[in-house]
Amino acid sequence: MANKLEQRVWLITGANSGLGLAIASYVSSRGDKVIATVRSLDKFPRSLKDQGASPLVLDLMSPDDEIKLAAEKALQVHGHVDVLVNNAGWGIPSPWEEVDLNEVRAQFQTMFFGTIAFTQALLPHFRTRRTGYVLNVSSLGSFLQPPSWGAYCSAKAAMSAFTNSLHTEMKPFGVQVLDILPGYFPTPFMFTAGGKSTYKPSVVYTDPSQGYGGPESLHNYHREVGLLGDVGKLAERIFEVVTKTGMAEDLVMKEGQVYDWTMIPLGADTERAAKEKLVVMLDNINGTEALWRSVNMDPKAQKLVPKFTNSA
């Protein structure tokens, strides 16, 4: 249990259920303070209220100015934020041919544009304090892109790209930016198709390899092979990453080697799925070597290309 001098302040988006709620609950149980964002106060979980967490209304579908105002209000709750967890997200499974483009835009607004607006408003705070964590909860799916989850995974992949770039920009200021990549966790997100009610199985793309069955087939597969994640354990691992304790104690340095991780995969399905994808990618690169080497400019021609000069 942290004493008052060691208490960190966590700002967690999408904390009303699933991973966000699990992280908020665990962090609170360890003595840290939590600011939990919800789309409306009636969605603020009673369990978090009982633990002393503070609610903050945030709708990432709102205009940028409203989102940034919510970030400013978050800083007023305890005077500072130590850990930002960008967790809010949703998705509706659908083949690309049939997906509603408005839903694609909405997913990107929540998990990419809205998240950037919220984070951007907090970056000066982290930078000037020269400390803190920004944890962006992406998905193992952003790396694998399974069929019928293309829109959701594309938005998460955009978040991962944002995270990797921000990691380098904030590193000189002592701020750690990490891409959290959960595998499959049987949360309410999956059983309600991302909390939406418009999900309908395809009548055209019905082969399992095309993603037929959406949430059902994904859940049943992971259940059958024994690769179901535990949200409580995920929350504990994330807390350990931030506090550099427990299983994450050696993530910074071990045997004199300094690590600079940009992503934290969480889920036993990482080994089977991600490692297989890496093998396929390497085979693809090696197999097309003749092609990608053939398009390099001739050395003599390269010398004729002018250098950029400072226009100032």
> Is 168 exposed, middle or buried (CB count within 10 Å of its CB: 0-12, 13-18, 19+)?
exposed
User: What's the pLDDT at 193?
Assistant: 46
How sure is the predictor about 195, in pLDDT bands with cuts at 50, 70 and 90?
very low
User: What's the pLDDT at 196?
Assistant: 46
d(CA 209, CA 222): 15
User: What's the pTM?
Assistant: 0.90
User: What's the pLDDT at 46?
Assistant: 95
What is the full DSSP assignment across 8-60?
A: -EEEESSTTSHHHHHHHHHHHHTT-EEEEEESSGGGS-HHHHHTTPEEEE--T
pLDDT tens digits for range 59-115: 999 999 999 999 999 999 999 999 999 999 988 888 999 999 999 999 999 999 999
- Is residue 215 a contact partner of residue 297, using CB atoms and an 8 Å limit? no
pLDDT at 191 over 60: no
Q: Given 26, 33, 133, 156, which residue is catalytic? A: 156
Which among 242, 263, 252 is positioned nearest to 27, based on CA atoms? 242
User: What's the pLDDT at 258?
Assistant: 66
User: What's the pLDDT at 280?
Assistant: 93
Domains of the chain, first to last:
9-271 (3.40.50.720)
Average pLDDT over residues 152-156: 95
Which among 63, 68, 74 is positioned nearest to 15, based on CA atoms? 74
User: What's the pLDDT at 4?
Assistant: 57
Average pLDDT over residues 223-240: 86
pLDDT at 291 over 90: yes
> Is 280 exposed, middle or buried (CB count within 10 Å of its CB: 0-12, 13-18, 19+)?
exposed
User: What's the pLDDT at 276?
Assistant: 86
- Does the annotation count 49 as an active-site position? no
* Residue 126, both tokens: 């982290």
Which among 40, 41, 36 is positioned nearest to 18, based on CA atoms? 36
Q: Given 26, 133, 152, 184, which residue is catalytic? A: 152
User: What's the pLDDT at 197?
Assistant: 44
- Does the annotation count 156 as an active-site position? yes
C-alpha triplet 243, 46, 235: angle, nearest 5°: 25
User: What's the pLDDT at 190?
Assistant: 59
On average, the pLDDT of the chain sits at: 89
Average pLDDT over residues 284-293: 96
User: What's the pLDDT at 217?
Assistant: 72
d(CA 74, CA 122): 9
pLDDT tens digits for range 262-277: 999 998 888 777 888 8
